[in-house]
C-alpha cells in the first residue's frame, strides 16, 4: 500500500485545513488508517484513527473537539479535518495504514502501523 498525504500548508491561528490520505495501486478498505504528526525536536504523536469500520474513529486528546477524521473507501481516501488551528499544531503530518484485525480496531501507536506515506507540512502562524 502506497500512501500519499496532502493538504498541508501555511494557515493563520484559528484557521482550518483538510488533510487527505490517499493510496495508489490498491485499496484502503480493510485497513485501519491513522494520522500522526511530528514537530521539530519532538517525537511522533498520534492524532487520529479511522478504523476499518466506517464510523469508528479515535481522536487524540490534544486535538479533540478540533479534529475530525473520516474515510471514503470508494474514493480510497481518509481525511483529517482540523479547525481552530494553533501554532502548536505545526508539524509534519503523516498518514499510516495497517491491515485491521477487526472492524473496531483503532491502533494508536506508531509501531502498530506497517505502511507510511510521506508527510505533509502544516504551519500555523500566530
Among residues 28, 18, 24, 34, the alpha carbon closest in space to that of 67 is found at: 18
Q: What is the pLDDT of residue 55?
A: 85
Q: pLDDT confidence of 11, banded at 50, 70, 90?
A: very high
**CB of 111 within 8 A of CB of 96?**
no
Show Cβ contacts of residue 86 under 8 Å, excluding neighbours closer than 6 positions. Answer: 13, 124
SS3 87: helix
At 25, list the grid cell: 495501486
Give dist(CA 113, CA 126) in Å, integer.
33
Q: What is the mean pLDDT of the chain?
A: 95
Q: What is the pLDDT of residue 43?
A: 97
Among residues 15, 33, 24, 35, the alpha carbon closest in space to that of 120 is found at: 35
Mean pLDDT of 21-25: 88
Q: What is the pLDDT of residue 33?
A: 97
Among residues 69, 73, 43, the alpha carbon closest in space to that of 58 is found at: 69
Amino acid at each position: 500500500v502506497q500512501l500519499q498525504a496532502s493538504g498541508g500548508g501555511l494557515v493563520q491561528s484559528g484557521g482550518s485545513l483538510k488533510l487527505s490520505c490517499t493510496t495508489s495501486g490498491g485499496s484502503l478498505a480493510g485497513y485501519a488508517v491513522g494520522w500522526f504528526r511530528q514537530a521539530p525536536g519532538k517525537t511522533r504523536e498520534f492524532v487520529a484513527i479511522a478504523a476499518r469500520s466506517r464510523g469508528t474513529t479515535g481522536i487524540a486528546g490534544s486535538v479533540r473537539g478540533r479534529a475530525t477524521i473520516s474515510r471514503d473507501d470508494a474514493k480510497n481516501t481518509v481525511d483529517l479535518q482540523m479547525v481552530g488551528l494553533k501554532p502548536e499544531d505545526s508539524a509534519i503530518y503523516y498518514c499510516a495504514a495497517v491491515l485491521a484485525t477487526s472492524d473496531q480496531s483503532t491502533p494508536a501507536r506508531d509501531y502498530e502501523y506497517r505502511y507510511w506515506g510521506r508527510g505533509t507540512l502544516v504551519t500555523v502562524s500566530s
